[in-house]
């Protein structure tokens, strides 16, 4: 096994499993395979993989139960692999503590990018996550200056409101990863907020008007329909 990153692939569809396995092996990842949830749980505890790719539709237990059980004792990154029709399940998996999701069908570059992002976030310790952000975040022409709490596009201050800034800085902290509407709402408006998506949508429309050249075809903050938002990867 050496010190390669080990990916545990939980997938009962052999076609998809073989496809992912080929990509991972040719990119120097080690691959562990489980065809059902019980085997997956056993392999997580026995092999302690670095990241889990988890299909939600498994033949024995529900993939959501796998997320729930793993999260009772481990913070190992979990990327849910799911069909486009299962938006509710994706949201449920993220809210149970999965780190990200990827929608079938996907390409090799997308799969590898999701894994790199999950591993990078896992490498930052838990305490680092709670520390105030300092420095700057860049992606394309967008800059978030955490010290000044200002956002610039092509060097020009775009004058976000406080809540707009909170949303942008939160998404940039998790750049490359999807954050659910609920996660964003609780982070920005507090844990007891009503959980109404409408206020978030209004804020996002204003943010996009200020930072995107073409708000209808965003380059910085992407909509994951029915799930949440994702900031473009940082540089």
Residues that bind Ca ion (CB under 5 A): 12, 55, 57
Q: At its nearest, how many Å lie between Ca ion and the CB of residue 96?
A: 18
Q: At its nearest, how many Å lie between Ca ion and the CB of residue 117?
A: 23
Instruction: Tell me whether residue 103 or residue 203 sits nearer to Ca ion (CB atom).
Output: 103
Q: At its nearest, how many Å lie between Ca ion and the CB of residue 81?
A: 9
Strand partners, 224: 228
DSSP-based three-state secondary structure for 151: strand
Q: At its nearest, how many Å lie between Ca ion and the CB of residue 86?
A: 10
Give the orientation angle of helix 37-47 with respect to helix 63-71, to 10 degrees: 30
Instruction: Tell me whether residue 54 or residue 168 sits nearer to Ca ion (CB atom).
Output: 54
Instruction: Tell me whether residue 12 or residue 233 sits nearer to Ca ion (CB atom).
Output: 12
Q: How far apart are CA 27 and CA 113, in angstroms?
A: 12
**Residue 18, phi then psi, degrees to nearest 5:** -65, -40
Q: At its nearest, how many Å lie between Ca ion and the CB of residue 4?
A: 26
Residue nearest to Ca ion (CB): 57
Beta strand ranges found along the chain (DSSP E): 6-10, 30-34, 51-55, 78-83, 100-104, 136-139, 142-145, 150-153, 156-157, 178-180, 221-224, 228-231
The residue with tokens 């993220």 is: 94
Q: Which of 22, 181, 174 is nearest to 100 (CA)?
A: 174
Instruction: Tell me whether residue 13 or residue 145 sits nearer to Ca ion (CB atom).
Output: 13
Instruction: Tell me whether residue 102 or residue 184 sits nearer to Ca ion (CB atom).
Output: 102
């Amino acid at each position: 096994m050496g010190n390669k990153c080990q990916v545990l692939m939980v997938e009962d569809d052999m076609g998809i499993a073989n496809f992912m396995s080929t990509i991972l092996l040719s990119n120097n990842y080690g691959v562990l395979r489980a065809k059902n949830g019980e085997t997956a749980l056993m392999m997580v505890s026995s092999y302690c993989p670095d990241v889990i790719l988890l299909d939600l539709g498994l033949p024995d237990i529900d993939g959501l139960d796998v997320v729930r059980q793993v999260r009772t004792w481990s913070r190992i990154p979990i990327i849910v692999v799911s069909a486009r029709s299962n938006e509710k399940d994706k949201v449920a998996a993220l809210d149970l503590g999965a780190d990200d999701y990827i929608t079938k069908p996907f390409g090799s570059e997308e799969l590898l990018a999701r894994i790199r992002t999950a591993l990078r976030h896992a490498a930052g310790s838990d305490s680092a996550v709670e520390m105030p952000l300092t420095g700057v975040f860049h992606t394309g022409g967008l800059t978030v200056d955490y010290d000044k709490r200002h956002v610039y596009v092509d060097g020009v201050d775009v004058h976000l409101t406080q809540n707009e800034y909170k949303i942008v800085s939160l998404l940039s902290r998790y750049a490359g990863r999807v954050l659910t509407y609920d996660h964003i709402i609780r982070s920005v408006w507090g844990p007891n907020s009503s959980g109404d998506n409408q206020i978030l949508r209004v804020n996002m429309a204003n943010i996009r008007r200020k930072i995107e050249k073409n708000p209808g075809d965003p380059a910085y903050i992407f909509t994951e329909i029915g799930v949440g938002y994702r900031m473009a990867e940082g540089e």
